[in-house]
Amino acid sequence: MRTFVSAVAAVLGLLLAAVAGPAIWADRNIVQEEGFVALAAPLGQDADFQQRLAAAAVGTIDTGAIPEALAGLVRPVLEAAAGSLTGLPGYPAAWEETLRKSHRLSFADPASLPPEVDSSSSLTLDVAPLVALATDELSRTTGLPLDAPEQTLINVGQPDQRQLIARVTAYAPLGYPLAIGAGIAFVLALVAARRKWSVLFGLGFGALVLAGVWALGSNLARDAVLGTASGNEIADMFKNEFVAGASTSFGSWVTGALVAGGVLLVAGLVTRIASPGRQRPNR
């Protein structure tokens, strides 16, 4: 009976851990604003993405207030602003604020979104902070009074993907109680076991299998997202770079599961060898 209880607890713990790991990662790196900003921040250091995003941001500046006679003079200034935007001292802060505003829009209740936000899109980039930075630089350079818009939106993803965000937002926080449940199950498996080494060895093997399942699931999810196109070059670049960063981030969790599995396997073998009840071969 003790062996049966130990086996059931070990299997239950592994199943709970299999769900808890991705859920906790998603909550920390996608649902929570700080984690999302930290994960997406390196995208602002990609030279090609920077240049294209800067050009898109500058291209949205409203120059309607500029006299027609000066329009030809302003155009080269706009092009120069697009090229120098990423080098301005305020660019890192503007990019971080872009990510924060975008996260708040994307993870908000659809009913609370402003009318201009496409609630069917899975992610909405609000590049208004970058546009404001470019507008201020342009005004300083030309001396012309230009007003920056409060929102400049770029929709990322396919229609109806906001439902996926809603499910992730609801599911991700459950990872913490599931992880606690997995820990309790593992302790119960060890306490109930007649042979502790067998539980350690089994959990180690299960952790290795779990790492493989996580890696396979991560690759399938990455390929599925990368296989979609929004029709917007900037949006697709953000999506591709963000997915690559997310895959790398979750890969560290897969590596952690592999290391934990290896440690448990070794611990099981050492415990088996050191066990005082181990039968010695007859001489």
**What are the 10-residue block averages of pLDDT along the chain, 283 residues in total?**
88 96 94 91 75 73 57 60 74 87 77 54 76 80 72 69 77 94 94 89 94 95 80 76 89 95 93 70 47
Count Cβ neighbours within 10 Å for each residue of 200-239 and write b for 16 or more, e otherwise.
bbbbbebbbebbeebbeebeeebeebeeeebebebbbbbb
Question: How many domains does the structure of the chain reveal?
Answer: 2
CB 13 within 8 A of CB 189: yes
- Identify the residue whose tokens are 């890696």: 215
Is 133 in contact with 94 (CB distance < 8 Å)? yes
User: Contact 124/155 with Cβ under 8 angstroms?
Assistant: yes
280: alpha, beta or left, given left = phi > 0 and alpha = psi -120 to 50? beta
* pLDDT at res. 52: 75
Length of the chain: 283
Q: HEC string of 241-260?
A: HHHHHHHHHHHHHHHHHHHH
Tokens 């120069």 belong to residue: 80
Do residues 211 and 153 both lie within one domain?
A: no
Cα–Cα nearest to 35, from 94, 101, 103, 98: 103
41 part of a folded domain: no
Q: Is residue 280 included in any domain, yes or no?
A: no
Q: How far apart are CA 77 and CA 63, in angstroms?
A: 12
Cβ distance 63 to 146 under 8 Å?
Answer: yes
Whether residues 148 and 218 share a domain: the answer is no
158 and 51 within one domain = yes
Tell me the one-letter amino acid at 217: G
Same-domain check for residues 159 and 214: no
The angle that helices 2-26 and 175-192 make with each other, rounded to 10 degrees, is 160
Q: Is residue 283 part of a domain?
A: no
Q: Tell me which residue of 196, 210, 207, 212 sits closest to 262, measured CA to CA.
A: 207
Sign of CA dihedral 52, 53, 58, 60: positive
Task: Specify whether the CB–CB gap between 153 and 116 falls below 8 A.
Answer: yes
Domain that holds residue 6: 2-30+165-274
Do 228 and 133 belong to one domain?
no
Biggest alpha carbon distance in the chain? Answer: 105
The answer as to whether 125 is a domain residue is yes
Are residues 151 and 182 part of one domain? no
pTM of the model: 0.81
Q: Are the beta carbons of 135 and 146 closer than 8 angstroms?
A: yes
